[in-house]
Amino acid sequence: MRVKNAVKFAIIIAIIAIVSFVMLQGITIGSFKIEPIKNSIRQGLDLKGGVYAIMEAQGNVTQDDISKAIVVINDRVNALGVTEPIIVPEGTNRIRVELPGVSDPESAINFLGQTAQLQFIGPDGKIVLTGADVKDSRAVLGKDEMGVETPQVTLSLTPDGAKKFADATEKYLNQQISIVLDDKVISAPVVRSKITGGEAVITGLENFDEASKLAIQIRSGALPVPLKPIEIRTVGPTLGQDALTKSIQAGIYGVLLVMLFMLAYYKLPGFVADIALVIYIIISFIVFAAIKVTMTLPGIAGVILSIGMAVDANVIIFERIKEELKNGKSLRASIDQGFSRALVTVVDSNVTTLIACAVLFFLGEGSIKGFAITLSIGVLASMLTAVVLMKYILNTVVGMNITKNPKLFGL
């Protein structure tokens, strides 16, 4: 039995070591690849840097208008290639936009907030086409009438739009059709012939970047309501990286101090608690990666707080075990009774924390939700390690019959 428990303990340590290595370094076996855990956990705005903005809808708006505006903004952001953006409603008439990694925040917010109401207007002031008649738009480099290569936006029209355009170009032959974006004329070409192919071209753009943004705006559609940025905050990548480094250092120092305290005060059970704490950290970060948590500074605070709560459960259990030992019970009986008596207290304290996390998640916004998610995952993981895994590991260590000295159990 002693040898069997020693083998089980060695297997536990080996599994912890292997999983920890894979989490930190990743592994590749043929076509099978596991990325390091840091590559699987997304970083929030306060860690990665970027722009935070609150955009307010102008005029009388409905929730349907806000929902449609969020869809349009999201399409524009995706076309820009921004990773892990956050675009959510704030109140009844505002939208919160967080764009990690954006280097030119003012330009990005102006681009996202531009209404992009596209119109083709005839010389008599009649609207010929709108953005709703456009099926697709692309930025290209094309040649103008002089043969000079210039940035342009090509438009593919819907069948109905193609018919409207053909009729308009026939009606306004040798006259100008103005291309207007948000009440500003960006091009006013003269119609030289009837256009029946369902294609149109916008010229007169300053550079290819402007053409690309205009093509994106036309593709994603016009905003249903004008949006005005009322708050813009920028987080530099250096500041975000510095915050991340300091947070990781604080977490490491905190875990090491907790482990040293448990080892010094509770001796052998403290050593087992330290092993369970490592398992807790592994489980938590695997879950973070699996559900693609966006880690923020409040989220890191939630992780560190849950570590303290995991240790708190260990303290309650070990004090119960010590009480049973003082009452003259055997070591195994003390462990069983200690865990049994502490179970209700541990579960109750963790359930109350989970209730608070639920309130924060459903009523909070942004980083508050991140804090609630990481704390609740940590609490659930700590319950698993403290109540189930630690008891198994402690019984395994006791079964090795290394010592029966009561001082090694904190007495």
Calculate mean pLDDT across residues 5-21: 88
Burial-class residue 193 by CB neighbours within 10 Å (0-12, 13-18, 19+).
Answer: exposed
Domain spans, the chain: 50-114+224-235, 118-220, 236-408
Per-residue model confidence as pLDDT tens digits over 209-259: 878 877 877 777 667 788 888 888 877 766 567 777 887 888 888 888 888
Class of domain 236-408: mainly alpha
Domain 50-114+224-235: assigned CATH number: 3.30.70.3400
Same fold yes or no, 50-114+224-235 and 118-220: no
pLDDT score recorded for residue 240: 64
Side chain identity at 298, as an amino acid letter?
Answer: P
For residue 175, give the 3-state DSSP assignment.
Answer: coil
Residue in 356, 371, 376 with CA at minimum distance from that of residue 301: 371
SS3 content of the chain, % helix, strand, coil (to 5): 60, 20, 20
Q: Are 392 and 329 in contact (CB under 8 A)?
A: no
pTM over 0.75: no
Per-residue model confidence as pLDDT tens digits over 104-154: 777 777 777 777 777 888 888 888 888 778 888 888 887 766 777 888 888
pLDDT score recorded for residue 355: 93
Fold that domain 118-220 belongs to in CATH: Gyrase A; domain 2 (3.30.1360)
Distance in angstroms (rounded) separating the CA atoms of residues 14 and 3 = 16
Q: What is the DSSP letter of 131?
A: G
Per-residue model confidence as pLDDT tens digits over 304-363: 888 887 788 888 888 888 888 888 787 778 888 888 888 888 888 889 989 998 998 888
Residue 382 has pLDDT above 80, yes or no: yes
Distance in angstroms (rounded) separating the CA atoms of residues 350 and 339 = 15
